[in-house]
Amino acid sequence: MGPVPDIGRRILDAAGVTLGGDAPHDIRIHDDRFWDRVLSDRELGLGESYQDGWWDANQLDEFLTVLQTADVRSLVRPSPALLARAAGARFRNQQTKRRARRNVEAHYDIGNDLYVRMLDKRMIYSCGYWSEANDLDSAQEAKLDLICRKLGLEQGMRLLDIGCGWGGFAEFAAERYDVHVTGISPSGEQVSVARGRTASQPVRIEQIDYRDLEGSFDRITSIGMMEHVGPKNLRTFFEKCRELLDPDGMMLHQTIGSNDWKTAGDPWYDRYIFPGGVLPSLGQIARAAEGHWSIEDVHNFGPDYDRTLMAWHANITPRWGEIPRYDERFRRTWDYYLLSSAAGFRSRSVQLWQIVFTPSRQRRPAHRSVR
């Protein structure tokens, strides 16, 4: 390995990382071009050089956790290209209806054979609730039941699930709480599975953008969907929910959240995992909800996502051989996605919120939080 640039040494020292060391967070560099790439493109260069096999870590999740905890990103000046991208995101809506459809296809339509091996038996692709759970299936069912209890679901209610995924929550709510569910998703792959999963239940699944939906509902939820709405559309999203919800109704949104107000997503995730995705801050959510909504409850259980992501990683790692069409570069990309996400929650750089809303200016009993 060639000499380490001075700024590279400062980064390693700040994170307590040793090249070729034995600690879980230590790394090995296989290609000296690694330094120029990272110093030029920061997090984008770090992720792409991992995809290309230029470096490895003893434990990738631990290495990325110490990087985020030490905030080494602040030590590297962003390149003009990264600055231009961030500036462009301020003016460009990356979640128009047409772009949203393409964004969904880029992640959720890459093959159910991957997701069925990675997720729990209900194929819930969001954070589980591990407070009393010991396995992924139990954690996901606990989360689904928590949402139903927070919404106060009662027999016969009309429930809208925005971004219904493969239908796991719609199936659960219809089975356990005897409600009528409408689930929507722009993803053809998800809609096909969701319709089959819920065929015997009082569930309707539509392939539609939330902006085009019409109807009236007693309860609304979205689980891991607000991250895809985009900062320019948050106000529209909440106004649409207000249009669809009965005046005495209630809604719950579960979302990954940022500690900071952002207008653009992480450049590596934007390019390879979730095109157009931007994590909202609590401030952005509150601003978008102003005038229409009362925020009744905010529940943060971000550390549970670390455990969920590690369970997904443990599920898929031994089963790549069953789905050989995903090549080595894709597997490294997926490892980086899952383990860097786990690092974000472990370092508390990102959060996971369940937020309960009711229409404002309504006379109603005091809301009692559920855990």
d(C-alpha 364, C-alpha 367), whole Å: 8
**For the whole model, what pTM was predicted?**
0.94
Strands (E), 112-241: 158-162, 180-185, 203-207, 217-223
pLDDT value for 93: 81
Q: Determine whether 6 is exposed, middle or buried from the number of CB atoms within 10 Å of its CB (0-12, 13-18, 19+).
A: exposed
The answer for residues whose C-beta is within 8 angstroms of residue 10's C-beta and 6 or more apart is 75
Vertex 99 angle, CA 87 and 111, to 5°: 120
The CATH code that applies to domain 93-359 is 3.40.50.150
User: How far are the Cα atoms of 41, 42, 242 from residue 76, in angstroms, in the given order?
Assistant: 9, 7, 43
Query: Residue 296: enclosing H or E segment and its boundaries?
Result: strand 293-300
Which amino acid, residue 83? L
For residue 5, what are the CA distances in angstroms to 1, 11, 48, 217, 251? 12, 10, 19, 59, 52
Question: pLDDT 10s per residue in the chain (371 long)?
Answer: 567 888 888 889 989 999 999 999 999 999 999 999 999 999 999 999 999 999 999 999 999 999 999 988 877 877 777 666 666 666 678 788 777 778 787 788 788 999 999 999 999 999 999 999 999 999 999 999 999 999 999 999 999 999 999 999 999 999 999 999 999 999 999 999 999 999 999 999 999 999 999 999 999 999 999 999 999 999 999 999 999 999 999 999 999 999 999 999 999 999 999 999 999 999 999 999 999 999 999 999 999 999 999 999 999 999 999 999 999 999 999 999 999 999 999 999 999 999 999 999 888 888 889 99
- Cβ-Cβ contacts under 8 Å for 157 (sequence gap 6 or more): 177, 179, 180, 218, 219
- Write down the domain spans for the chain: 6-77, 93-359
**Number of neighbours of residue 239 by Cβ within 10 angstroms:** 16
Structural contact between residues 228 and 220, judged by C-beta atoms closer than 8 angstroms:
no
